[in-house]
Amino acid sequence: MAGPGEFELIRDYFSSRFQPDAESTSQGTGVELGIGDDCALLIPPAGKMLATSVDTLVAGVHFPENADPYRIASRALRVNLSDLAAMNAEPLWFTLALTLPESSDTWLEPFARGLADTAHQFGITLVGGDTTKGPLSITIQVTGACDKPLRRDGAGDGDIVFVSNDLGAAAAALPLVLGQMNGSERQQQLADAAYYFPEPQFGTARAIGEYASAALDISDGLLGDIGHICNGSGLGVELYLEKVPQAELVAEIKGNGADALEAALTGGDDYQLCFTVPEKHLAAVAGLQLPLTAIGRMTAERGVRCMLNGEPWQPHGTGYRHF
Amino acid sequence: MAGPGEFELIRDYFSSRFQPDAESTSQGTGVELGIGDDCALLIPPAGKMLATSVDTLVAGVHFPENADPYRIASRALRVNLSDLAAMNAEPLWFTLALTLPESSDTWLEPFARGLADTAHQFGITLVGGDTTKGPLSITIQVTGACDKPLRRDGAGDGDIVFVSNDLGAAAAALPLVLGQMNGSERQQQLADAAYYFPEPQFGTARAIGEYASAALDISDGLLGDIGHICNGSGLGVELYLEKVPQAELVAEIKGNGADALEAALTGGDDYQLCFTVPEKHLAAVAGLQLPLTAIGRMTAERGVRCMLNGEPWQPHGTGYRHF
């Protein structure tokens, strides 16, 4: 009865795309009651902890205002899924609080499609939401099931610091994504993938879950984020910058000098894992045959100390500043 | 290391106010790990369902931009708690996604205090959050434990429709809250209470949990919201408008005519319960000795039909329009 309001928006664009299918009945997903009541009703998996995280993406701050809505949805959900991965949790449910300036079919249709495609790919179910009128922003809260959590506060003195895959792609991608620079077709593709389709590192988290003493996802840049492991664990770290793996796009856009290094060290949005491994588990981690690189060592001395080819090195920035 | 960013904001203003105290250790609240990691880690209560709901409040839409931050926090959390109450769930945890134009101590201090006071009053724990820069808006997601959920889709033909307490106070309060009208000191107090301190109806929900066939909280106005019980249950409703209990403030501000009736029927934000009771449980509900009023009856015929002293009555509006 409430006219073309939030109820219709949610129902039309989201409910229909997030109906439980044959594979994911209420038993399978633990969803007793999904979108449309005062609350969703959820049955948590027996004997497991729940891991939950919330992130807001604001237009013009966390993504370009006029970006493709399909890609905005992909990025928004993947960024949140990365927090589950970093905790070594398996995706269960998410909610969407969407604030948008106007109820526009041309925006909502691709956005909902992007959200549904991403949710399907990672096996997570939309269970509730809210739609309000205002400047475009997207708040997603993800919940997962967790057996062996990877916390930030478990690193030990002497543990080796690893990162997954390579760093700096999203930072290098930014001028291409914002249209401030024209790249080759391949560079545009790499930039698009890095910025809008970052890969939550579920597989890596699962593999290192037995061995890692602490972990997080690199969302605000390696040098800023590793400080959280240091603070949480009451330690410091020594990083060997020449070992930090740089993404292909970094060399393409930033060259091979200080700019490239800065992108890999302080650029945010890569969502790779940074984690620590005690000496006794190093052989097991090497045996995983995953693209993991040792880049430093936790130390009793506090602070983040950077060495480049044996010389102390001082970065210009330390990560993304939110204010 | 990330400068005066989101980490500092969250830590300084929220973490310190939401430390588990002696009464609420990790066992008590099920919080294994709270604010500050990639995810919160939560231990769900054994053998219960979880109820979860998310709501966004946008400045200038859901509260006045320059309102007292303490009151904004109270309203934001209470509005969300009301969804738990309407589902007959007991509060466990909540998250806060806060978008604000600037990191201002004079705003954050009272906001955090209002949030902490409200959370303490209702026994709910802040377990995570995000802080972003942008136009002021507040997204809260609440999670509760639920044994006997009160859904919208359980009403039966012939069930009697009840509301808790009285309606229209928040609608009558609006011109006073917005400063469009000057009231007496008592009127201002009533308006302040109605708008910024609405009472989630946990006690009533618990009491009627055994007897009610369907329920929701009236957030968008009775006539709009009862349509959700009708649609969910595949029924219609006949309402007897002369029976709808009107709040004291309605008569004070709107008089006793059609304006007053409209405020009670279509004004949002009262967060009273509307619920249906099968005939066989009417005596038990009467025996509860709660301020509940029978205002109508569910019917096989679809639609919302209003009768005023035996005559059909057509409202001008049907509830708050979000767009």
- Determine phi and psi for B169, rounding to 5 degrees: -60, -45
For residue A255, is it left (φ>0), alpha (ψ between -120 and 50) or beta?
Answer: left
Torsion of CA B34, B36, B38, B39, to 10 degrees: 10
Per-residue pLDDT at A2 exceeds 50: no
Q: Does ipTM surpass 0.90 in this model?
A: no
> Beta strand A236-240 with A303-308: parallel, antiparallel or unpaired?
parallel
From B317, which residue of chain A is nearest by alpha-carbon distance? A2
A130 with B56: Cβ contact below 8 A: yes
pLDDT of residue A25: 45
Beta-carbon contacts of residue B133 (< 8 Å; ≥ 6 apart): A58, A61, A322, A323, B99, B100, B101, B102
Asked if B56 and A97 come within 8 Å (Cβ–Cβ), the reply is yes
Q: pLDDT per residue over A278-289, tens digit each?
A: 999 999 999 999
* Cβ atoms A134, B101 nearer than 8 A: no
Look at B84 and A39 and tell me if their CB atoms are within 8 Å. yes
pLDDT value for A5: 57
pLDDT, residue A102, reads 85
Cα–Cα distance for residue pair B60/B138, rounded to 1 Å: 12
Q: Can you give the C-alpha Rg of chain A in angstroms? A: 21
pLDDT of res. B190: 94
Residue B29 pLDDT grade (very low, low, confident, very high; cuts 50, 70, 90): confident
In this structure, what token pair is assigned to residue B198?
Answer: 């609405």
Mean pLDDT of chain B: 89
Kindly report which listed range (A102-111, B17-26, B280-289) carries the lowest average pLDDT score: B17-26
Reported confidence tier of residue A12, pLDDT bands at 50, 70, 90: low
pLDDT score of B23 more than 80: no
B21/A260: higher pLDDT: A260
Name the fold adopted by B160-312.
Phosphoribosyl-aminoimidazole Synthetase; Chain A, domain 2 (3.90.650)
Cα–Cα distances (Å) from B272 to A15, A17, A302, B159, B166, in that order, read 26, 32, 54, 19, 7
pLDDT in tens, A184-199: 999 999 999 999 999 9
The predicted structure's pLDDT at residue B2: 32
Upper half-sphere CA count for residue B322 (Cβ side, 13 Å): 28
Side-chain-side CA neighbours of B270 within 13 Å: the count stands at 34
The single-letter code of the amino acid at B253 is: I
The region that residue B281 occupies, defined by phi over 0 for left and psi between -120 and 50 for alpha, beta otherwise, is alpha
3-class secondary structure, B23: coil
Say whether B232 and A42 touch across the interface (CB within 8 A): no
User: A114's torsion region: left (phi>0), alpha (psi -120 to 50) or beta?
Assistant: alpha
Say what the pLDDT of residue B8 is: 58
Pairing of strands B125-133, B89-100: parallel
SS3 state of residue B152 = coil
pLDDT of B46 over the 50 cut: yes
In this predicted structure, the answer to whether residue A22 has a pLDDT above a threshold of 90 is no
The token duo for A191 is 């930039």
* B204 contacts B271 by C-beta, under 8 angstroms: no
Q: Give mean pLDDT, residues B95-111.
A: 90
Q: Are A263 and A207 in contact (CB under 8 A)?
A: no
- A100, A279, A202: which is closest to A215 by C-alpha? A202
Q: Is A135 in Cβ contact with B134 (below 8 Å)? A: yes
SS3 of residue B272 by DSSP: coil
> Is B129 annotated as ligand-binding?
yes
Three-class DSSP category at A12: helix
Q: Which two tokens stand for residue A136?
A: 């475009």
Query: Chain B: nearest CA to A242, how far in angstroms?
Result: 21
- Residue A83 labeled ligand binder: yes
Task: Report the CATH architecture of A6-146.
Answer: 2-Layer Sandwich (3.30)
> Does A3 score more than 80 pLDDT?
no
The mean per-residue pLDDT over the stretch A21-44 comes to 74
What residues are paired with B91 via a beta bridge? Answer: B144
pLDDT of B314: 82
- What are the pLDDT digits (tens) for A35-64? 878 899 999 999 999 999 999 999 988 899
pLDDT for residue B127: 92
CA distance B93 to B127: 6
Residue from A13, A139, A228, A302 to probe the interface with B (highest B Cβ count within 10 Å): A139
Compare all CA atoms of chain B with the CA of A153 and give the residue at the minimum distance. Answer: B37
Residue pointed to by tokens 């044959």: A22
Residue that has been written with the tokens 């249906």 in this structure: B276
Ordered by start, the domain boundaries in chain A are 6-146, 160-312
Three-state secondary-structure class, residue A283: helix
pLDDT for the residue B321? 46
pLDDT at A21 over 60: no
d(CA B39, CA B37): 5
Which one, of A38, A76, A283, lies nearest residue B219 by Cα? A38
Whether residue B28 has pLDDT greater than 60: no
Higher pLDDT, B191 or B105: B191
* B68 neighbors B110 (Cβ within 8 angstroms): yes
| Range A126-132 average pLDDT | 90
pLDDT at B103: 80
Report, as an integer, the average pLDDT of A228-240.
Answer: 96
> Would the CB atoms of A42 and B54 count as touching at under 8 Å?
no
* The pLDDT of residue B229 is above 50: yes
pLDDT band at residue A323 using 50, 70 and 90 as cut-offs: very low
A129 is in an annotated binding site: yes
> How far does the CA of residue A287 sit from the closest CA of chain B (Å)?
27
Query: Is A276's pLDDT higher than 80?
Result: yes
CB-defined contacts A:B, below 8 A: 249
Strand A236-240 versus strand A292-299 pairing type: antiparallel
Give the integer Cα–Cα distance in Å for A122 and A102. Answer: 29
Tens digits of residue pLDDT in B238-247 = 999 999 999 9
* Upper half-sphere CA count for residue B93 (Cβ side, 13 Å): 28
Beta pairing, strands A137-146 & A89-100:
antiparallel
Two structure tokens written together for A111 = 């956005």
Query: Measured between beta carbons, which residues in chain B are less than 8 angstroms from residue A99?
Result: 56, 58, 137
The one-letter amino acid at B227: G
pLDDT-above-70 percentage for chain B:
90
DSSP H or E segment with residue A189: helix A185-196
Given a cut of 50, whether residue A71 has pLDDT beyond it is yes
Contact A322 B5 (CB under 8 A): yes
Mean pLDDT of A243-254: 93
User: Is A78 part of any known ligand binding site?
Assistant: no
Does B213 score more than 90 pLDDT?
yes
Task: Give me the pLDDT at residue B7, please.
Answer: 47
Q: Do B232 and A36 touch (CB under 8 A)?
A: yes
Q: Indicate the average pLDDT of chain A.
A: 89
- pLDDT level of residue A8 (50, 70, 90 thresholds): low
Helical ranges in chain B per DSSP H: 6-13, 26-29, 69-86, 105-122, 169-177, 185-196, 202-208, 222-233, 248-254, 258-266, 282-286
Residue of B39, B89, B132 with shortest CB distance to A52: B39
